[in-house]
């Protein structure tokens, strides 16, 4: 008897080859047989009319903190994601000295918009080294985690305060190399660094004080292991992005490592910029370099309320200073103060076309419910005021809990984005799962891929889309034994209805430690998610088995790193 | 590792050397111009650095916005294709 048999599903095996109908039998943590399976399973799943695919792999997340209180990475797992890469953008939670904890929390708060209270109330700080952190998250792990180690964190560990003051000495670089080796030996899938991010004092993060010599030295260590280098380039400027990807290409060629950069957006203001970047990517791949651009599936939208700082306001210095550094009472005081308010309204003129388009999505009071779903332009007309004044007034009336949505921030050109997602040298990713929890939902990008680009627009075949987020991703990251429905592979499997899969509506929920809230989306059309042979989530019974692992794991000593086109 | 394929020309840039500021990069990369003119050009071609919020007065970076990791363009952006 098998442990599990999935019957009569349409197997989309992750290779990109045409789908076929078959049973899939699982023994222990592995796929045992594919075809007509006569034997019964201890557990059986009827997949008639449904797709049986390898579990999805999300290569760009920030679940580092959430994994300490939630080994399911909710709700990512319910969307069919069975493996997450965390520790992106130069930030991981290890290695970490006790003196640096609050500094790193400040960076996570500033860059990834993760609430300070969640760290204070959801985290027991009982690790310092990377291996201690890995041991900590292994308890109760239901999803697979492929953790990057952050360059900024290694710099802090070795250089302390000098990490944000100067370049490293030769001795410090040697020490950083040794620390990186320890992390890779402990299970890190690679190193992440950033060229754009700012810390809690709005100063550059430690990785930005590294010169090319230091990055080269760390890349040489990655070369010893064949592991990934992830960077955040200055993505807002194509010339800068190209300069960075040229740097990555040289490191990839010199040390034989895979590299990836994220994000790459389709910018409505400069629609051809992405073509220039992709032309350069093609040229560098032709030289033999591996520089994978990560492209997200979903359009950009941002929600906000005045109770927490929002990246939407980062270009408006006075607004951002008040929201970033003010207490609740100070923010209310500033908005009520005539002089300050006049200054803010004047500064808001820089983004004048934006304000009338914002949608009021949520309020607390009955009196303002009539405005929910309307734009600030409409509300301003109803109130006889300006959109910015209406936004401020509603925020004060709602004690800063009026939530607004900016729904068209870019990356919404379906033809252009669809073409990118299909591109053989584009890596589908950049979801940012677990981050920006008070600005937008980072869950459901895979549902959006299948619902919008495969089913509605028919921009990709379903086999292509599955391959992109399973076997391609496993190959790019050197994760062995996953990403294919094939006998002998680890049984990470997602069963979904191709006619129904999608992302649910964005909603605001309170499930973060410290009474915190976040935006999430439920999965639609996902039936069962299997990790390591166990049912980790099903639509009828919710979250279940905890058989997640830390990847790439011991079997990755000689990874095959070339993704097939 | 064998490297095949050629690269098209992109906007020329450099990475800072130890202790670099606008003037030292200008004298090294734009030696045909006066220092004042070269610095002004560099700053206008590198607004991502020039417009950066200043470092705190007690920071070693005070007065020099150039970070060791910065890409510094040493020519203007190409004109958009017609």
Sorted by where each starts, the structural domains of chain A and their CATH numbers stand as 85-299+415-459+472-481 (3.20.20.140), 302-406 (no CATH)
ipTM computed for the complex = 0.94
> Residue A122: pLDDT band by 50, 70, 90 thresholds?
confident
Which chain A residues are Cβ-neighbours of B3 within 8 angstroms?
253, 287-288
> Which of A195, A240, A283 lies nearest to residue B8, judging by beta carbons?
A283
Residue indicated by tokens 């890409």? B71
* Interface mutation vs chain A, best among B68, B73, B75, most A CBs within 10 Å: B68
- Tell me, yes or no, whether B59 lies in a domain: no
Q: Answer for the pair A231, A194: CB distance below 8 angstroms, yes or no.
A: yes
pLDDT at A408: 74
Say how far apart CA A278 and CA A245 lie, in whole Å. Answer: 10
Does residue A485 have a pLDDT over 80?
yes
Put simply, whether B82 touches A (Cβ < 8 Å) is: no
- Which pLDDT score is estimated for B14? 97
Rounded to an integer, what is the distance from CA A528 to the centroid of its chain?
Answer: 22
The percentage of residues in chain A with a pLDDT greater than 90, rounded to a whole number, is 82
pLDDT of residue A561: 45
pLDDT number for residue B80? 73
Give the domain range for residue B46. 14-51+66-73
Beta strands in A75-198 (DSSP E): 81-86, 144-150, 190-194
- Which tokens belong to A159? 């250089």
Which residues in A have their CB inside 8 Å of a CB on B? 165-167, 195, 201-204, 207-212, 215, 234, 237, 239-240, 242-244, 246, 253-254, 256, 272, 279-280, 283-284, 286-288
**What is d(CA A529, CA A508) in angstroms, rounded to the nearest whole number?**
24
Q: Indicate if the pLDDT at residue A558 is higher than 50.
A: no
Task: Provide the token pair at A125.
Answer: 């700080």
* Best CA proximity match to A281, nearest among A129, A130, A420: A420
Q: Report yes or no: A191 and A222 within 8 Å, Cβ to Cβ.
A: yes
Residue pair A179/A221 in contact (Cβ under 8 Å)? The answer is: no
**pLDDT tens digits for A313-330?**
888 989 988 988 889 999
In this complex, the residue of A201, A212, A239 whose CB is nearest that of residue B11 is: A239
Note whether residue B31 is domain-resident.
Answer: yes
pLDDT per position as a tens digit, A188-235: 999 999 999 988 888 899 999 999 999 999 999 999 999 999 999 999
Angle at which helices A338-347 and A328-336 cross, to 10°? 90
Number of domains comprising chain B: 1
Inside any domain, residue B27: yes
Mean pLDDT of the A539-559 span: 84
Cα-Cα-Cα-Cα dihedral of A155, A59, A553, A138, to 10°? 80
Concatenating the DSSP letter of every residue in A408-456 gives: --S---HHHHHHHHH-TT-EE----BTS-TTT-----HHHHIIIIIIII
pLDDT of residue A255: 98
Q: Is A39 left (phi over 0), alpha (psi -120 to 50) or beta?
A: beta
The answer to the question of residue B26 being in a domain is yes
Determine which helix (DSSP H) or strand (DSSP E) holds A295, and give its type and residue range.
strand A291-295
What is the rounded CA–CA span in Å between residue A131 and residue A187? Answer: 8
| Three-state SS sequence of A470-493 | CHHHHHHHCCCCCCCCCCCCECCE
* pLDDT tens, residue by residue, A134-161: 999 999 999 999 999 999 999 999 999 9
- Rounded mean pLDDT of chain A? 94
Closest residue of B to A167, CA-based? B68
List pLDDT tens digits, range A47-94.
Answer: 999 999 999 999 999 999 999 999 999 999 999 999 999 999 999 999
Identify the closest residue of chain B to A253 by CA–CA distance. Answer: B1
Q: Is A242 within 8 Å of B69 when comparing Cβ atoms?
A: no
* Average pLDDT of the segment spanning A99-113: 89
Instruction: Work out the average pLDDT over A434-459.
Output: 94
**Interacting residues of A103 by C-beta distance below 8 A, sequence separation 6+:** A156, A199, A200
**Is the residue at B42 inside a domain?**
yes
* The pLDDT value given to residue A562: 46
Sheet of A144-150, strands arranged across:
A56-58, A81-86, A144-150, A190-194, A228-232, A259-261, A291-295, A427-428
Of the candidates B55, B59, B77, which has its C-beta nearest A239's C-beta? B77
**What pLDDT digit, counting tens, does each position of A244-256 carry?**
999 999 999 999 9
Q: Do B69 and A166 touch (CB under 8 A)?
A: no
- β-strand A51-54 against A41-46: which pairing, if any? unpaired
Cβ pairs A/B, distance under 8 A:
76
- For residue A419, what are its two tokens? 């073409």
B65 interfaces chain A, CB cutoff of 8 Å: no
Stated as kind and residue range, the H or E segment containing A153 is helix A151-159
Contact B68 A209 (CB under 8 A): yes
pLDDT at A475: 97
d(CA A60, CA A203): 24
- Maximum alpha-carbon separation in chain B: 49
Tokens of B49: 């650095």
Residues of chain B predicted below pLDDT 50: 1-2
Q: What are phi and psi of A407, to 5 degrees?
A: -95, -10
Of chain A, the percentage scoring pLDDT greater than 70 comes to: 98
pLDDT in tens, A124-134: 999 999 999 99
Distance CA A86, CA A344 (A): 37
Q: Is residue B56 part of a domain?
A: no
**B13, B18, B67, B71: best mutation site toward chain A, by most A Cβ within 10 Å?**
B71
Chain A residue numbers with beta carbons less than 8 Å from the beta carbon of B81 are 272
Condensed to tens digits (0 to 9), the pLDDT of residues A344-397 reads 999 999 899 999 999 999 899 999 999 999 999 999 999 999 999 999 999 999
**CA separation for the pair A64, A107 (Å, rounded):** 13
Comparing C-alpha atoms, which of A418, A427, A495, A426 is closest to residue A458? A418
A110 or A546, greater pLDDT: A546
Residue B6, classified by CB atoms within 10 Å of its CB into exposed (0-12), middle (13-18) or buried (19+), is exposed
Cα A408-A414-A416 angle, rounded to 5 deg? 110
Q: Tell me, yes or no, whether B4 lies in a domain.
A: no
Residues of A in contact with B71 (CB under 8 A): 195, 234, 240, 243-244
Residues of A in contact with B6 (CB under 8 A): 283
pLDDT at A557: 54
A287–B7 C-beta distance less than 8 A = yes
Question: DSSP assignment, residue B68?
Answer: T
B34 part of a folded domain: yes
């Amino acid at each position: 008897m098998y442990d599990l048999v999935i019957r009569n599903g349409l197997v989309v095996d992750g290779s990109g080859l045409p789908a076929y109908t078959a049973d899939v039998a699982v023994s222990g943590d592995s796929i045992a047989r594919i075809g007509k399976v006569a034997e019964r399973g201890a557990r059986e799943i009827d997949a008639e009319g449904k797709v049986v695919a390898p579990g999805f792999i999300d290569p760009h997340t920030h679940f580092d903190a959430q994994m300490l209180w939630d080994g399911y990475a909710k709700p990512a797992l319910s969307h069919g994601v069975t493996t997450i890469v965390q520790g992106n953008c130069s930030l991981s939670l290890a290695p970490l000295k006790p003196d640096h904890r609050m500094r790193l929390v400040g960076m996570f708060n500033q860059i990834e918009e993760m609430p300070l209270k969640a760290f204070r109330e959801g985290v027991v700080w009982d690790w310092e080294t990377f291996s201690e952190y890995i041991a900590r998250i292994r308890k109760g792990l239901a999803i697979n985690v492929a953790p990057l180690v952050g360059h900024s964190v290694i710099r802090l560990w070795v250089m302390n305060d000098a990490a944000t003051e100067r370049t490293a000495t030769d001795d410090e670089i040697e020490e950083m190399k040794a620390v990186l080796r320890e992390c890779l030996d402990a299970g890190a899938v690679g190193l992440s660094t950033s060229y754009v991010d700012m810390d809690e004092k709005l100063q550059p993060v430690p990785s930005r004080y590294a010169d090319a010599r230091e990055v080269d030295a760390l890349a040489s260590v990655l070369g010893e292991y064949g592991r990934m280098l992830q960077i955040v380039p200055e993505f807002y400027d194509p010339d800068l992005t190209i300069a960075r990807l040229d740097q990555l290409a040289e490191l990839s060629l010199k040390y034989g490592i895979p590299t990836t950069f994220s994000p790459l957006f389709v910018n409505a203001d400069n629609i051809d910029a992405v073509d220039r970047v992709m032309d350069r990517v093609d040229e560098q791949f032709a030289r033999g370099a591996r520089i994978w651009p990560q492209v997200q599936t979903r359009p950009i939208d941002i929600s906000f309320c005045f109770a927490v700082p929002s990246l939407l306001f980062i270009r408006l210095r006075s607004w951002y200073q008040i929201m970033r550094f003010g207490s609740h009472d100070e923010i209310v005081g500033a908005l009520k103060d005539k002089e300050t308010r006049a200054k803010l309204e004047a500064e808001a003129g820089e983004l004048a076309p934006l304000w009338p388009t914002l949608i009021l999505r949520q309020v607390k009071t009955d009196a303002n419910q009539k405005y929910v779903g309307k734009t600030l332009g409409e509300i301003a007309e109803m109130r006889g005021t300006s959109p910015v004044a209406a936004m401020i007034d509603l925020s004060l009336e709602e004690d800063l809990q009026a939530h607004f949505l900016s729904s068209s921030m870019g990356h919404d050109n379906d033809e252009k984005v669809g073409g990118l997602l299909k591109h053989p040298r584009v890596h589908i990713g950049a979801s940012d799962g677990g981050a920006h929890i008070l600005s937008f939902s980072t869950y459901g990008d895979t549902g959006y891929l299948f619902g919008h680009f495969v089913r509605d627009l028919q921009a990709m075949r379903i086999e292509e889309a599955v391959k992109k987020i399973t076997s391609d991703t496993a190959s790019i990251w050197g994760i062995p034994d996953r990403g294919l429905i094939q006998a002998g592979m680890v049984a990470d499997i997602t069963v979904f209805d191709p006619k129904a899969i999608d992302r649910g509506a964005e909603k605001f929920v309170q499930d973060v430690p410290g009474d915190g809230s976040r935006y999430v989306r439920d999965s639609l059309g996902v039936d069962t998610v299997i990790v390591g042979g166990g049912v980790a989530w099903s639509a009828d019974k919710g979250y279940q088995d905890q058989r997640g692992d830390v990847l790439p794991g011991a079997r990755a000593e000689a990874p095959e790193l070339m993704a097939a086109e | 590792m064998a490297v095949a394929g050629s690269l098209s020309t992109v906007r020329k840039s450099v990475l800072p050397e130890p202790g670099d500021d606008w003037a030292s990069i200008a004298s090294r990369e734009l030696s045909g111009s006066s220092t004042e003119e070269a610095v002004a050009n560099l700053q206008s071609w590198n607004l991502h650095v020039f417009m950066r919020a200043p470092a705190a007065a007690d920071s070693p970076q005070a007065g020099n916005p150039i970070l060791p990791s910065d890409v510094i363009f040493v020519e203007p952006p190409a004109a958009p294709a017609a």
